[in-house]
Structure 1
Amino acid sequence: MRGRQTVVEAVVIGRREHRETDRVAIAYTDAFGKVPVRFGGVNRPAGKLKAVSEPMVWTELRLYARHGAEFTTATGGSLLSSFPRIRSDFSSTLRGLEVCELLDRLTPMWKPNPRKLRLSVECLTAMDGAAGSPGVAWLSSAYALRLFKSAGFGLREKRVSEENRALWELLHEGPLEEIGRLPEDRDRQGRLDYLVRHSVERIADRPLRSAELLDRIARESASGKRREAGDAVDPKTAGTAGLPPRQATGTR
């Protein structure tokens, strides 16, 4: 690739601002694996390629790299999908970004693996179809387990109870569309989330930022529900709810 232009299929998994008007994105490509891509002038008012330099987009890019250059340079591109239904739901968006972060954490630079790209695109597409439903969380877990296996850190042989064996096999090998239709099960999903996050932290030596944000939102949501429950107490009985009826009414 170095010293020539190449058209690649990619999922953009992260970006940062660079200098005054540029961006540097991290893209996972079919032909070259994970590579840094500079989008020159994209932050100008009339800058092009903004849509294909955002995280969690599936795109076709025309890349150029000089020998010894720090970045590849995007000279063109077209959007294949921005997964709009994922973006329309906040919780689904965080799960989609978790997919991007996992792909970033568990892959080295310049080591192509087209199957990892295909897995990522298929998972984000399935999440787009299930956006706003419990299936998105299951799909996130299925993606993590399959990416672990592809990266050589498979958990497939981990001991699980007979009760959970069918689910475990489905998450590793089953159709993503079927996984996206699974009903909510907070207990099992919580245990899966813990397993995935603990494994990533052990491998990559730092926690997932998207997972930390999901946890914080869940805590704040639970706290808000407790406050709402407190506000819903009938003010006529709030001061006497714990007293026997005769004392509560002041009669004997």
Structure 2
Amino acid sequence: MKRMQSSSSNTRTTGKQSSYKQVLVFLCMVLVLKVSAQDAAFAYQMVQQGNYRAAVEDYQKLISVDAKGHKLYHNLAASYLKLARPDSAILYAVKALRWSPNEETTKTILAEAREMAGIVHVELPQSNLMKSFWYIINSLQSRVWFWISVFLLLIAVLLLKFAQRPSHVRIKSSYILALIATGFILLLFTWVRHQHDYNTDEFIVMKPTKAFRSADENSDSIKTLKSGEKVTKSDQIGPWIKTILDDGTPVWLRQNDLIQIKL
């Protein structure tokens, strides 16, 4: 009997400790969210007052607690641009465009930062049809496209089941097929947008960096990349990243000189 009472007492104690831990975690989360909201409001106020250095410090505090999003990165890029730091402005403008690729104001900040850094950026020409295609895909995030497609496919399945039952209401098969086709097209949109959002092969050069012929500092240096240039990884060996220059020349860069672009 004593053993049973002792076991029951230990169970209650463990349960109380677990409850205390859950309450403590909840309070910590509330505190972090409250502090983050205060920092965001203060940083925005600093931007409005033209105190961009203080704004950058507070936005970086938000990033340190894993805050992210288009507005945060956009304001940070704008602040860095005002501070004449084009490399950081380019980095956060590109990160902001990962969230909202159609945002024209962010594109303007990116263009101005590249001009300040002396970077000539040439985009490949696209037809109006392709521009419209990408505009539609970029209008929503991948998870939104996914849930819309799931909803349409679910409706199609329900209609198929309903159509098999005797009913005075006839459902045209063309409607069901249209729903299924649209659902799969939106799944394609989901995949394309996901590839854009979670591409981990793009980097920003954060200081003038030598491009080497091979993954060795003793090899020949082909050219020096400007701070703020964007490169795409094609291969990696240890701390060395391989990329292809605009003229088709393969070069190797030190990863420590780059910052990865990610959501």
Q: TM-score range by the shorter chain?
A: under 0.3
> Could you tell me the TM-score, scaled by structure 2's length?
0.23
Name whichever structure is richer in strand by fraction.
1
Larger CA Rg, structure 1 vs 2: 2
Name whichever structure is richer in helix by fraction.
2
> Could you tell me the TM-score, scaled by structure 1's length?
0.24
